[in-house]
Structure 1
Amino acid sequence: MSRIQIETPEKWLFHTRIKVQIGDINYGNHLSNDAILRLCHEARMRLLSNYGFNEIDIGGTGLIMLDAALQFQGQGFYGDELDFDLGITNLSNTGFTLIYKLHRTRDGAAIAMVKTGMAFFNYERQRISRTPEIFRSAITQGN
């Protein structure tokens, strides 16, 4: 059986903490896979906000998710606080890969590694855009 391999970034750019809510729990009484992606979306919004951006306006262009991969490492449960560390790999002329490392706060247990392929996107023209220099500058300087 092969497993998804998620490349760890050279440095983590952002850290946030998110609490698992009852709507994040599945019939197995643990954090569901779709909830992990939803929580990563929240973490991504917090990262962007930290740099003064949002998903619709980063130097005049937006972001769109091209793909996502989750590597499960443990279970999260209702009420758990999760630490999210976010970093970027594969910064290109049109996008990047965003890496998320999730750990349970109380005991440090690894919950998941997630990656999302993100592209800069012009929603008005409905096409991929170039990476804004303001974004490249912000993340390489660590803001």
Structure 2
Amino acid sequence: MARLTLQFPEDQYCFNTLLTVRVTDINAAKHLGNDSMISMISEARALFFFEFGITETAADGIGIIVTDLATTYKAEAHARDQLLFEVGVMDFNPYGGDITFRITRPVDGVLVAMAKSGFVFFNYQSLKVIAMPAEFPGKFAKVNWLA
């Protein structure tokens, strides 16, 4: 069975934030559960967008919708661990692109996970994918475009 491999250019990370693993994030195996990691990735994405002045859904119904999420786990995280989420964007296309995440435990430098989340711009009133607003890519200096 093929395994997923996620590797991203070092220079594309443009935001980072620390999040703490809560006791309620721990699963029966006594480590950070997959569902909680997805929630933490979503929180890091929301903080990233806020930092760059991007609303996930504006009053006019124009917003961003997640199209996919891929995550590879490299190490366990436990309750009260601080995790550093480094966030970037890449592979823009006319409708969206990818948000990338490198998640480490800063206390020992251990890589906990890598993730990539696809997104497109979406009109929640017409329920249709729309073109990326012209001002969006200008917020990010080092982003590649897909053909």
TM-score range for the pair, normalised by the shorter chain length: over 0.9
Residue 59 and residue 138 in structure 1: after superposition, are their counterparts in 2 closer, same or farther (change >3 A)?
farther
1:66-116 CA deviation, whole Å, 9 max, x = no partner? 111110000000000000001112111001111100001211111000111
TM-score by length of 1: 0.92
Q: What corresponds to 1:62 in structure 2?
A: 63
**1:135 Cα shift?**
1.0
Query: In structure 2, how many angstroms separate the alpha carbons of the residues matched to 1:94 and 1:110?
Result: 31
- SS of 1:134 mapped into structure 2: coil
Give how far 1:40 is off.
0.6
Secondary structure, in 3 states, of the residue corresponding to 2:45? Answer: helix
Q: Kindly report structure 1 stretches of 4+ aligned residues shifted beyond 3 Å.
A: none
Alignment of 1:1-143 (within 5 A): 1-9=1-9, 10-57=11-58, 61-140=62-141
Distance apart, 1:3 and its partner CA: 1.5
SS of 2:93's partner is: coil
- AA partner of residue 94 (structure 2): N
Deviation at residue 24 of structure 1 after TM alignment: 1.0
Is the 8 Å Cα contact of residues 31 and 76 (structure 1) preserved in structure 2? yes
**CA–CA separation in structure 1 for the residues paired with 2:29 and 2:79:** 11
How many residue pairs align between the two structures? 142
Identity of aligned residues (%): 29
**1:141 Cα deviation after fit:** 7.1
CA distance in 1, matches of 2:122, 2:24: 30
Query: Could you tell me whether the CA contact under 8 Å between 1:58 and 1:132 is conserved in 2?
Result: no
Indicate how the Cα distance of structure 1 residues 57 and 3 shifts in structure 2: closer, same or farther if over 3 A, else same.
Answer: same
Confirm or deny: 8 A CA contact 2:61 2:125 kept in the other structure.
Answer: no
Alignment partners' CA distance in 2, 1:58 and 1:119: 17
Aligned Cα RMSD in Å? 1.9
5+ residue gaps in structure 2? none
